[in-house]
Amino acid sequence: MRILFVENHAPFAATVGEAFLAAHYLTLVGSVADALAFVAEGRFDCVLVDHDLDDGPGTLIVEALRARGFSGPIVATSAHDEGNAALQAAGATHVCKKSQFHTLAALLERVGADAGE
């Protein structure tokens, strides 16, 4: 699965990538601006997005994806319930809080199965 992971804490993102996403093609970006550039030119099967980014809320990314017709799964990955609720209100389809990343591989397996992959 091709995954765009938007997370502004690079060491954390790298650890998550190695520990939980190694079986996937992963693109890591750390800002709204970088994510929007990839959204414009890249194709992803799934997007993982944090809410509290340095240059704005992750909701901007979710809204841009949905406006472009992206119908794939978007996983809200904020550590805070309020951030995840905002991401879901913007169009995220799943939630995996940072404290629950040990369940991320299983969630992505279900998402991939639902998408017919």
Per-residue pLDDT at 116: 52
pLDDT at 95: 96
Does the model's pTM come out above 0.75?
yes
Distance of CA 111 to the CA centre of its chain: 13
Q: What is the pLDDT of residue 38?
A: 87
| Fold for the domain defined by 1-8+30-99 | Rossmann fold (3.40.50)
Residue 25 and residue 95: Cα distance in Å, rounded?
A: 20
| Tens digits of residue pLDDT in 14-72 | 999 999 899 999 999 999 999 999 888 768 999 999 999 999 999 999 999 999 999 99
Q: Which spans in the chain are helix H?
A: 10-20, 32-41, 59-67, 81-90, 104-114
Question: Which stretch of DSSP H or E encloses residue 95?
Answer: strand 94-95
- Report the alpha-carbon distance of residue 10 to residue 82 in Å, rounded: 22
pLDDT confidence of 114, banded at 50, 70, 90?
A: low
Which residues pair with residue 49 across a beta bridge?
Answer: 6, 76
Q: What is the pLDDT of residue 40?
A: 83
CA 13 to chain centre: 11
φ and ψ at 7, to 5 degrees?
-150, 125
- The amino acid sitting at 20 is F
- The tokens describing 112, both together, are 């991939």
pLDDT band at 115 (very low <50, low <70, confident <90, very high): low
Among residues 73, 90, 57, 66, the alpha carbon closest in space to that of 2 is found at 73
